[in-house]
Amino acid sequence: MFEKQVYTSRRQALVKAMGSESGILLFIGNAESPAQYRDNGYKWRQDSNWLYFWGIDEPLFAATIDLESGEETIWSTDFDVDDIIWMGPMPSVSEQAAGVGVSRTAPYGALDEYIAKARAAGRRIHFLPASRYYNAIKLSKLTGVPADDCFSAGKAGCPAASEAFVKAVIGLRLIKEEREIAAIDAACDLGYEMHTIARKGIRLGRIEQEIVGDMEAVTLANGWGVSFATILTQHGEIFHCHSHEMPVAPGKLMVIDAGAETNIHYASDFTRTYPTGGVFTQKQRDIYQTVFECNELAFSMARPGVEYRDCHLAVARHMLENLRDLDLVRGNIDDMVSEGIAGLFMPHGLGHNMGLDVHDMEDLGENLVGYDEGQTRSSQLGLGSLRMARKLQPGHVMTDEPGIYFIPALIESWKKDGSDKGFVNYAKLADYYDFGGIRLEDDLLVTEGGARRLGSKRLPIAPDDVESAMAND
């Protein structure tokens, strides 16, 4: 947690950003999330919007701001002796509220009547999309909106949420404060440690799951844990491969996409790809070199005023040029870029915002978070998955993660339906069906003059550096 003034000034800025809107801002903090049943939960994690404005890292809190009177209230229930036996002594709700600059508190259960009265008086209840099902049920009970319509459904957020509220929150959280940048740097340093242990752990015959265990130990020993479920796979062409039962096999590429979350809940997110035997084949090196160049290209372009969407497109262009040199695609580069041919090889976006969440604020709706007014999201494969397209500003934090993959099911699908528009050399591509995939990811901060890679050290990434690091591990 930060000092009290951080939270009071963030809330002042929020109310100011709400402009002429009236009514009540309603925040629902998280409950414990059951793994198997109510009392056996996953590791406690507070809602990120709650953490940003109210800081208190405990379950079953809510808060309201009355936009007319300015009155702020924190709703939660004090511990009794039974709670103390199980959970230990805990500061009172009013003590916790005072720590974030709030003087008015009331029991959690009293929120229902407060909201009911406000609704009866015709006042608008502004709420954010619920990122968890508990919060959707709670919002539904308070507002009368069906729970499904309160749950964040991804790209569009959710239909019942207050767009003014959502936009005001995004406006604040998108530009990171100095203290947040320091926190993200710390998360990146922890991510460096976890990736270094992983790289040192790649030995032929070892079970992937053992390396995952080593990585998570580092994050648990020094932080909250992993910022998302670790991807560690010799099938890099499967983006979210969470099966880790394979032994490390010779001649494969190992994609490790993983990050750490610190104790104050800021995230990092890095990807490296390693030759399992420590040395790239020429075929692997050709593709790796291209992905490496794309990663460097995006970084070199990132600066205030540039649209990150244009960085994605520049990466797509460079990738297609190199793939044409390898005779995997044939034809005019401009045409291939506009037809979205790069999507066959990189069906995801160049990057996403990062902060308290590894995909920052995704619960608020990908489009509102990642796109400026006037920017339209593409429907092309790849570009359509771009989560951060905005014109860059100092304080933006996002990932730079180009990749090239050979996905047999996707290639066959394009071949069948003609999505390649004749640009793809399927005969040559047939040699790559067992290649897997390569992704290389760093985390960037947009600065006044350009961009900076976050974290105090960069994981080895140039192909020669990777090979020499592995030789020395």
d(CA 203, CA 375) in angstroms, rounded, equals 46
Which is nearer to a copy of itself, 229 or 462 (by Cβ)? 229
- Residue whose CB is less far from a copy of itself, 122 or 240: 240
- CB 345 → a copy of itself: shortest distance, Å? 12
Which CB sits closer to a copy of itself, 312 or 359?
359
Cα–Cα nearest to 236, from 382, 438, 372, 422: 438
Residue 368 half-sphere exposure, CB side, CA atoms within 13 Å? 27
Residues in Cβ contact with 134 at an 8 Å cutoff, skipping those fewer than 6 apart: 30, 31, 33
CB of 332 to a copy of itself, least distance (A): 26
- Residue of 178, 185, 172 lying closest to 442 (CA atoms): 185
Instruction: Please state, in angstroms and rounded to a whole number, the distance separating the CA atoms of residues 240 and 443.
Output: 19
Considering beta carbons, is residue 73 or 195 the nearer one to a copy of itself?
195
Residue 343 DSSP label: G
18 contact partners, CB below 8 Å, separation of at least 6? 25, 67, 126, 164, 165, 168
Could you give phi then psi for residue 276, rounded to 5 degrees?
-60, -30
Q: How far is the CB of 77 from a copy of itself (least distance, A)?
A: 17
What's the distance, CA 2 to chain centroid? 22
Q: How far apart are CA 361 and CA 274, in angstroms?
A: 31
Nearest approach, Cβ of residue 418 and a copy of itself (Å): 14
Q: What's the min distance (Å) between Cβ of 229 and a copy of itself?
A: 6
- Residue 10 host element (H or E): helix 4-17
Residue-wise DSSP of 276-325 = TTSS--HHHHHHHHHHHHHHHHHHHH--TT-BHHHHHHHHHHHHHHHHHH
Q: Name the residue among 27, 47, 20 with its Cα closest to residue 127.
A: 27
* Pairwise CA distance, residues 357 & 268, whole Å: 9
Parallel, antiparallel, or unpaired: how do β-strands 104-106 and 72-75 relate?
A: parallel
Of the pair 222, 375, the CB lying nearest a copy of itself is at 222
The two three-digit tokens of residue 469, written as one number? 């690091």
- Residues 260, 138, 52, 364: is their CA dihedral positive or negative? positive
Rounded to the nearest whole angstrom, what is the least distance from the CB of residue 373 to a copy of itself in the complex?
22
Name the residue nearer to a copy of itself (CB basis): 272 or 359. Answer: 359
| Residue with tokens 């994981």, as numbered in its chain | 459
- Tell me how far, at minimum, the Cβ of 82 lies from a copy of itself, in Å: 9
d(CA 46, CA 29): 7
Please report how close the Cβ of residue 42 comes to a copy of itself at its closest, in angstroms: 4
Our CB check for a copy of itself shows the closer of 412 and 465 to be 412
Give the binding site for a copy of itself (CB under 8 A).
33-45, 47-48, 81, 84-89, 131-134, 136-137, 140-141, 147-148, 151-154, 207, 209-210, 212-214, 216-222, 228-229, 235, 238-242, 245, 263, 347, 356-359, 362-363, 407, 409-410, 413
Nearer to a copy of itself, 140 or 295 (CB): 140
Q: How far is the CB of 259 from a copy of itself (least distance, A)?
A: 11
User: Shortest Cβ distance from residue 130 to a copy of itself (Å)?
Assistant: 9
Q: Which is nearer to a copy of itself, 70 or 247 (CB)?
A: 247
151 vs 274, which CB is nearer to a copy of itself? 151
